[in-house]
Structure 1
Amino acid sequence: MTSHDSDRIDTLLQHIGQAPLDPVTGTGPVALPSYRTSTVRFASMDVLDQAQAAKQRGERVPTYGRVGLQTHEAMETLLCRLEGGERAFLAPSGMAAISMALMALLGQGDHALVVDSVYGPVRYFHKTILSRMGVAMDFVRGDLAGLQAALRPETRVLYLESPGSLLMEMLDMPALSRWAHEHGLTVVADNTWGSGAIYRPLELGADVSVIAATKYIGGHSDLMLGAAVARDPALVGKLHETHYALGNTVSADDAWLALRGARTLGVRLRACAENALEVCRWLDAQPQVSRIFFPAWPGDAGHALWQRDATGSNGLLSVAVDFDTARVRRLIDSLRLFGIGYSWGGYESLVTQVEPSALASHGYWASIADARMKAGTVLRLHIGLEDPADLIADLAQAFEAARGCDDPY
């Protein structure tokens, strides 16, 4: 791969992973092709021996198809440059990357502290897999007092996500990382929100950054992809061993799609963020809106941390509305431009209701004293690339439908 000196994100995204020029013809395509293979050939036994030796040292050397060829390497290189890491390990989804990272760092008898605002399936992974392996987890609030109270002699990992998955809570990553390192813990951070472009956990003190490239990096809602990124050689070695042992692999076509999507990551993030702020201004003027959860919004509790630690925003936000569950359902069903769906990070706008059970399981009632949220009146919106005036008009007619409905169902 050609090396480029600029560290500016927009420039990196256009040049990392480009197809090399043919040394004979001096020509080459702009976009790297999708190199699919199940088998790697070697010129000689000596070459094979050298490749196996390099693999044992933890180097990225393709010896079999599941490691991938140039397309996978280009995607890994791009992720390393985005995240500020030395090695990236691809996985079939964001959750697969989370699972792989936690299994690399935890063993029987170990304990992990998990900030309770993380992606919900982490709890299910512990319940169904890690607990059976003898790994304990405590889900606690993301403050030093809560973490200190739950610390055990066998604690090995602090796992967190900033902002949080449901209510977008910004965490003090540098402070939490310092505390964790003082107690010998490895910090693993879910950086799907920041995608390496607007938030960089490794620079803020984390040791491993995991990301669902399914979201903003892919950007077009047409692929599943995850990755774990690290810079410390010892951690890279642990991730390498577990990644190889689990047999994690991704399609070359999915890696190619993610590379293609990443070229426009910067402009898409900025456009989604600008649109989301316009929507927030409209939401803030609605009498039924009690709270907006969006770090870039000045009224958000984490706004100061966002200003300090992030370099931008995106289109993901949650909003608490003063409607009962039936009216919220009518509101959602009345939307015409927002698809109803769980994902986010694509070009399109989406809406979901944040289920009361999800909030309760995250322990939010201790920190958010708004009884209306207990009725299930929290919506998560992904604001996409549509014209914000059209999105606001769509929300306005849906709010009106919810207000005027005496008996929705």
Structure 2
Amino acid sequence: MKFETRLIHGSHSIDPATGALSIPVYQTSTFAQKSVDHFGKYDYARSGNPTREALEEAIAALENGTHAFAFGSGMAAISSTLLLFQPGDHLVVCEDVYGGAFRVLTKLFSRWGLTVTFVDATSLDAIAGAIRPETKGIYLESPSNPLLKITDLAGAAELARSKGLITLVDNTFMTPYLQRPLDLGCDIVIHSGTKFLNGHSDVVCGFSVTKDRELAKRIGFIQNGFGAILGPQDCWLTLRGLKTLKVRLEESQSSAIRIANWLAAQPQVKKVHYPGLAEHPGFAVHNRQSSGPGAVLSFELESFELTKRLLEGVELAAFAVSLGGVESILSYPAKMSHAAMPPEERAARGISDTLVRFSVGLEAPEDLISDLGRFIAA
């Protein structure tokens, strides 16, 4: 079946007990057992819940993985997956990683001896040069957040395999509809499901996906032991949102392409970061490993004053944290997604005080351009 068909008719599309076209919300904390010697499939909802299981199986299938694990937030998915590593281990991480991942790596995991080297992951040589004897993994985003830099995922995975390392990829921006890192040789895919997978700005959730049986066993143990699970109501809402992923992302992506080209023509816009533009340095690599540029872009304006007026004055795009909803969202990385990153670290990565991230929603692109044009039209 094609991807859009699998979104609707994948695993658990019909409730086997009643024939309902919507999987029930099993709003329970525990399950009655009939035997002291042989417990049923479910015993306590932290360890397993039928609604969560349905969602996990759906996400795994879409990523061409075998196991997915649903967590209470994207950061819970990231942090729980990072518990695969132990004190003394070292990770190579893309330098303009999401600010929450930067924070947890440098402020929490550093406390118990997990060390990190941040590199320009657009260069496989830079990744290779940062590998040490104690290195255990490579953590990547492609496109990265917020500068949408592109990493050669197949090349990075091949490098990692040659060194016996685990490759982890945050695939939030692309979703499995546009990019499937497991197919490119990567070991683990992470999502903030809050974004495009749910797509309606009403759930906070995260996922970790793999097709490696041993890694799945370890992540499953962490999910149960650490306990940062996703509740059944939020699982049901995400299952609902997932069904329209293809049509939502196609429409938003089409608008994003149009808006990116318009922005690139405005003299008050210094630079547009979007892999759908031919001048993007990662254009060829991205086209090779993905089937579209996605619905998120960022751009730099000529002054902080203009940036402030735009963010505070737009009417159709919400000035807010997050992305991937049906509504357009303008974010300010310096004080939102990357506020946890010290100013000098942001500056070194090119995350300036005039950088704006734009998650394009389902509004008419003409209306969005008109709204932006009140501030930055040529």
Same fold (TM over 0.5): yes
Q: Given residue 391 of structure 1, which amino acid in structure 2 is its aligned partner?
A: L
Matched, 1:12 2:3: no
- 1:21 Cα deviation after fit: 4.0
Matched, 1:238 2:218: yes
1:309-346 deviations in whole A, cap 9, x for unaligned?
11223321001222x11221012222111111120000
Structure 2 counterpart SS, 1:47:
coil
Q: State the distance in 1 between where 2:281 and 2:321 align.
A: 24
1:60-104 deviations in whole A, cap 9, x for unaligned?
x43211133221111001101111111111110011101011112
Q: State the distance in 2 between where 1:287 and 1:362 align.
A: 25
- 1:44 Cα deviation after fit: 2.0
Matched, 1:129 2:101: no
- Asked if 1 retains the 8 angstrom alpha-carbon contact of 2:91 and 2:135, the reply is yes
Q: Given residue 31 of structure 2, which amino acid in structure 1 is its aligned partner?
A: V
The equivalent residue for 2:334 is: 355
The equivalent residue for 2:354 is: 377
Q: State the distance in 2 between where 1:364 and 1:347 align.
A: 33
- Asked if 1 retains the 8 angstrom alpha-carbon contact of 2:334 and 2:346, the reply is no
- 1:363 Cα deviation after fit: 6.7
Q: Which sits farther off after the overlay, 282-291 or 209-218?
A: 282-291
- 1:364 Cα deviation after fit: 4.8
89, 92, 96: which one aligns with 1:113:
92
Q: State the distance in 1 between where 2:313 and 2:325 align.
A: 21
Structure 1 counterpart SS, 2:331:
strand
1:136-175 deviations in whole A, cap 9, x for unaligned?
1111111222222221111101111111011111110011
30, 37, 42: which one aligns with 2:28:
37
- 1:267 Cα deviation after fit: 0.3
Q: State the distance in 1 between where 2:100 and 2:158 align.
A: 27
The equivalent residue for 2:38 is: 47
- 1:286 Cα deviation after fit: 0.9
- Asked if 1 retains the 8 angstrom alpha-carbon contact of 2:317 and 2:328, the reply is yes
Q: State the distance in 1 between where 2:362 and 2:32 align.
A: 44
182, 207, 217: which one aligns with 2:187:
207
TM-score (normalizing by structure 1):
0.87
1:167-191 deviations in whole A, cap 9, x for unaligned?
1111100111111111111111111
- 1:232 Cα deviation after fit: 0.9
34, 55, 66: which one aligns with 1:75:
55
Distance 1:70 1:282, change over 3 A: same
Q: State the distance in 2 between where 1:192 and 1:280 align.
A: 20
Map 1:144-183 → 2, pairs under 5 A: 144-183=124-163
- 1:360 Cα deviation after fit: 4.9
1:179-236 deviations in whole A, cap 9, x for unaligned?
1111111111111112211111111111011111100011100001101111111111
Q: State the distance in 2 between where 1:194 and 1:360 align.
A: 29
Q: Given residue 60 of structure 2, which amino acid in structure 1 is its aligned partner?
A: C
Structure 2 counterpart SS, 1:67:
coil
Larger Rg: 1
- Asked if 2 retains the 8 angstrom alpha-carbon contact of 1:116 and 1:363, the reply is no
- Asked if 2 retains the 8 angstrom alpha-carbon contact of 1:110 and 1:134, the reply is yes
Distance 1:363 1:138, change over 3 A: farther
Q: Given residue 357 of structure 2, which amino acid in structure 1 is its aligned partner?
A: R
Structure 2 counterpart SS, 1:229:
strand
Q: State the distance in 2 between where 1:236 and 1:291 align.
A: 41
Q: CA RMSD in A?
A: 1.8
Matched, 1:62 2:51: no
1:2-57 deviations in whole A, cap 9, x for unaligned?
xxxx2x110010012223344xxxx5211112111111122323431xx5xxxxxx
Aligned length: 371
- Asked if 2 retains the 8 angstrom alpha-carbon contact of 1:97 and 1:211, the reply is yes
- Asked if 2 retains the 8 angstrom alpha-carbon contact of 1:19 and 1:33, the reply is no
Matched, 1:295 2:272: no
- Asked if 2 retains the 8 angstrom alpha-carbon contact of 1:346 and 1:384, the reply is yes
Q: State the distance in 2 between where 1:85 and 1:91 align.
A: 17
- Asked if 2 retains the 8 angstrom alpha-carbon contact of 1:188 and 1:209, the reply is yes
- Asked if 2 retains the 8 angstrom alpha-carbon contact of 1:220 and 1:346, the reply is yes
Unaligned runs of 5+ in 2: none
TM-score (normalizing by structure 2):
0.93
Q: State the distance in 2 between where 1:92 and 1:18 align.
A: 23
1:240-293 deviations in whole A, cap 9, x for unaligned?
121111012211000000000000000000000001111112212211122211
Q: State the distance in 1 between where 2:294 and 2:315 align.
A: 22
Q: Given residue 26 of structure 2, which amino acid in structure 1 is its aligned partner?
A: Y
Q: State the distance in 2 between where 1:341 and 1:62 align.
A: 39
